[in-house]
């Protein structure tokens, strides 16, 4: 026979296990809902509907204002909507709050490059690569920035010394490189990792 307290303890223990299981299921459902939200927002962005995406993002950020994934997607949507300054502010804030994430640095660099702020773009990409040395897109973009900086330097050298015969072929190669459609700086439209 079991002591009398076992009936209460066993029921209480069973109740605690049931509550713990319910909590785990609730977390799983919340995570699944959040993943679904990210997917729905990403679909809107891919469909070229940044305004609708921003509406959904702002609604979700009201409930979870520190969510780095939603904040990243907000920057992407702002950029896609032509709101470059807002996107720069969003990505900059993300780099301050989550300095370990490379994607916001990459997208910040893309915006800077579009504004011909190549030194700022270079610094942002160097941070992205430092944070994730295997981030291929950031390495490619950094190479593009270095090439654009080289092009500026060669152009300045030609301006200062038009008779310099070694600069002209280098400058021509870089001009040809940038006339090809494949050599554009790419942003990370995918969501950040948590």
The model's pTM is 0.75
pLDDT score at 35: 75
CATH code at 99-194: 1.25.40.10
User: E strands, 18-112, where?
Assistant: none
What's the pLDDT score for residue 32? 40
Q: Which two tokens stand for residue 51?
A: 């305004």
Cα separation, 138 vs 103, in Å, equals 8
**159, two tokens:** 């301006």
Instruction: Using CB atoms within 10 Å of the CB of residue 13, give its burial: 0 to 12 exposed, 13 to 18 middle, 19+ buried.
Output: exposed
Residues of the chain with pLDDT under 50: 1-32, 183, 191-194
Q: Domain-by-domain residue ranges, the chain?
A: 1-83, 99-194
Please report where in the chains the tokens 């950094």 appear, as a residue.
142
The per-residue pLDDT of the chain, averaged, comes to 83
Q: What is the pLDDT of residues 64-99, one digit of tens each?
A: 999 999 999 999 999 999 999 999 999 999 999 999
């Amino acid at each position: 026979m079991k002591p009398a307290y076992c009936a209460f303890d066993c029921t209480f223990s069973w109740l605690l296990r049931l509550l713990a299981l319910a909590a785990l299921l609730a977390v799983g459902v919340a995570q699944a809902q959040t993943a679904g939200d990210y997917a729905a927002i990403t679909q809107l962005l891919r469909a070229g509907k940044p305004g609708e995406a921003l509406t959904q993002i702002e609604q979700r950020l009201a409930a979870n204002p520190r969510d780095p994934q939603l904040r990243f997607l907000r920057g992407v949507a702002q950029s896609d909507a032509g709101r470059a300054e807002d996107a720069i502010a969003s990505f900059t804030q993300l780099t301050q709050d989550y300095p370990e994430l490379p994607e916001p640095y990459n997208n910040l660099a893309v915006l800077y490059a579009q504004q011909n702020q190549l030194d700022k773009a270079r610094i942002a990409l160097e941070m992205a690569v430092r944070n994730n040395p295997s981030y291929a897109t950031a390495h490619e973009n950094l190479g593009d920035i270095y090439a654009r900086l080289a092009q500026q330097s060669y152009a300045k050298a030609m301006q200062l010394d038009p008779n310099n015969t070694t600069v002209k072929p280098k400058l021509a190669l870089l001009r040809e490189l940038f006339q090809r459609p494949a050599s554009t700086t790419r942003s990370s439209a995918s969501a950040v990792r948590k």
